[in-house]
Structure 1
């Protein structure tokens, strides 16, 4: 376990000071195209703004929203420095509103699924004791609440935020995973025209013109899982299977533990090579021609590793089932701790449309560590060569 902690701390090192300081980054317009993904902190909003309630003429905000992500934080607002708060999120692709006011906590979920990859017009507004959510000009949710302990007169400041919350997650009535791989455009936030403060850990990236399901690796960064957190062994005969579908080139995956490292990567050209390092034997296997649709099946047996039904490594000295249960690093897209030269050469570039471990879909938002450049839930439909251009909506 110490090995896992050391590697993750090494990868997170450049971000630790930023995460602790929570300082604001650049100021950006809330009306343009905003990518909610690509930042290190989970709960800190990627951007926020505030105003005096006396300057607000209408508690109404609307914006266009697009995602393939089933769960995450979208829009947040509060008054009284977070004593009264509201958050709009997705759960199973369906809108969910949670409200905290005085002694009341409310959670309501309903309406159509929004994670279909299409643009939807969302409007959130306050109507007295009710909060209303409209989707494409149709009312989807209405939440009403009243507390005898709450003050009817609104005064002080109102705060708005995107992609996170400004209050402690412990206040949630129904917890959720906050990461949101989505894009927002054309926002009108109350009647405010002032710029928003962006979180310093957020990396501005354009939204893809058109998207499809999958996890996109742009040739930078990895996603790391602790195998003890993944589905385990069912039967020794079947072993543990990792299935990957998509189009890619570069390092597909690596498996690491103390004194052991296995790397499955495609080297330059059209020949794919699996590398088994640290004194273990080498092997080779054709895995995925660059940029062409492919399926990879990586099977872990008690004393061997198998790629697409072909044994790649056999050793009686290692018990892979025990190592998996106790915790190894399963990394998609590269090798943790690789030199900068190796990283630049070997990082995965492409779209992993689906990753299955023991038949269960793996969500990169649940990774032990995921680089900010990696998109968890969407891939561009453009060809790989077109990805170098400046994609705009």
Structure 2
């Protein structure tokens, strides 16, 4: 492709990329091959930018591996806060995008973690997260709750079209484990120590240290749970389920599947106003800036 710079009226570009190749050039452009050029490519499966002109010479690589044969858009979102903004010429601004106008305010103080405001959700494909042990069949989830308020789902296992097969909910300062077969178990809400959910052929076990309280929930149909991992629609849901009027808001200092921490940026889908890498110090109304 060749572009006439005198006719360009737009300074941004976007595209989707799919490749199994871990190394190569995606885009190269120059005004003078010896003095002014730009390269976007992959090195070891990760994006890399090289730029050379009379002002700067740099090479930068970052981000997750993209050489997995799936479609990727090279525009990663950033979880951060802005304040004291002064954008170009305010009088020349003609419109504000719908996304910008819906952004939530920042907390006055923040800490590392993941914040789910009320009604937000994220989905992971069960085929994209660490798989259960085979013999004997076992799967574990560890959920680190820093802050929690309201009532609603924290996580669930199931498919988008059907009620969850197994779920963990926040209700009246309790954590409630329930299954599609009917029974449920309550555990007093304690912030800080990770909640551990262990699944096996004999049932589901919910525990939390240092009290080491253990609640066992028998599973009437364990075969249905195993099937979730072999069908493409199997999901791990975080936060509100589709169609749920949830008032639950919570902060996680981590979510681990089979001992491996999940990256919220790698979710199959998620609400745009989830804070992927930060949490407010409290769930009050103190704000400072734009998120």
Structure 1 or 2: larger helix share?
Answer: 1
**TM-fit CA distance, 1:215:** 0.7
Q: 2:80 aligns with which of 179, 182, 187?
A: 182
1:129 maps to which of 53, 65, 82: 53
Aligned-partner Cα distance in 1 for 2:270–2:121: 6
2:239 counterpart of 1:333: yes
3-state SS of 1:143 partner? strand
SS in 2 for 1:376: coil
Aligned counterpart, 1:263:
167
Aligned residue among 289, 298, 301 for 2:197: 298
Q: 1:260 to 1:99 in 2, by over 3 A?
A: closer
Q: What's the counterpart of residue 286 of structure 1?
A: 187
C-alpha distance in 2 between matches for 1:210 and 1:108: 38
Q: Which residue of 2 aligns with 1:223?
A: 122
Aligned position for 1:208: 107
TM-score w.r.t. structure 1 length? 0.50
**CA 1:348–1:185 in structure 2 vs 1: closer, same or farther (change >3 Å)?**
same
1:306 and 1:355 mapped to 2: Cα distance?
Answer: 17
Equivalent in the alignment of 2:266: 366
Secondary structure of 1:375's partner?
Answer: coil
Give the match for residue 322 of structure 1.
227
2: CA distance, partners of 1:177 / 1:312: 43
Stretches of structure 1 lacking an aligned partner (at least 5 in a row): 1-52, 55-78, 87-97, 110-125, 133-141, 145-173
Q: CA deviation at 1:379?
A: 0.4
Say whether the 8 Å CA contact 2:137–2:201 is kept in structure 1: no
- SS of corresponding position for 1:106: strand
Match of 1:389 among 260, 265, 286: 286
Alignment of 1:106 with 2:39, yes or no, is: yes
Deviation at 1:307, TM superposition (A): 1.7
Q: Is the 8 A contact 1:287 1:296 kept in 2?
A: no
Relative contact order higher in (CA < 8 Å, ≥ 6 apart): 2
Q: Is the 8 A contact 2:107 2:286 kept in 1?
A: no
| Distance in 2 separating the partners of 1:188 and 1:322 | 54
**For 1:284, what is the secondary structure of its paired residue?**
strand
Determine whether 1:232 maps to 2:131.
yes
Counterparts of 2:274 and 2:225, CA distance in 1: 28
Moved over 6 A (4+): 83-86
Q: Is contact 2:106–2:287 with CA below 8 Å preserved after alignment?
A: no
Q: Does the Cα contact within 8 Å between 2:81 and 2:289 map onto a contact in 1?
A: no
Quickly say closer, same or farther: Cα 1:392–1:182, change in 2 above 3 A.
closer
Does the CA-based 8 Å contact 2:83-2:288 persist in structure 1? no
Q: CA RMSD in A?
A: 3.8
> What's the secondary structure of 1:391's corresponding residue?
strand
CA change 1:317–1:231 in 2 (3 A) is closer
3-state SS, counterpart of residue 136 of structure 2: coil
Question: Taking structure 1 as reference, are residues 337 and 305 closer, same or farther at Cα in structure 2, changes over 3 Å only?
Answer: farther
How far is the alpha carbon of 1:100 from its aligned partner?
4.9
Structure 2 unmatched ranges of 5 or more:
15-25, 43-50, 60-71, 208-213
Kindly provide the CA deviation profile for residues 322-375 of structure 1, in whole angstroms up to 9, marking residues without a partner as x: 32232422111122233xxxx24xx43121110111222212222222122321
Q: Name which of 150, 156, 179 aligns with 1:254.
A: 156
**Alignment check: 8 A CA contact 1:208 1:391 kept:** yes
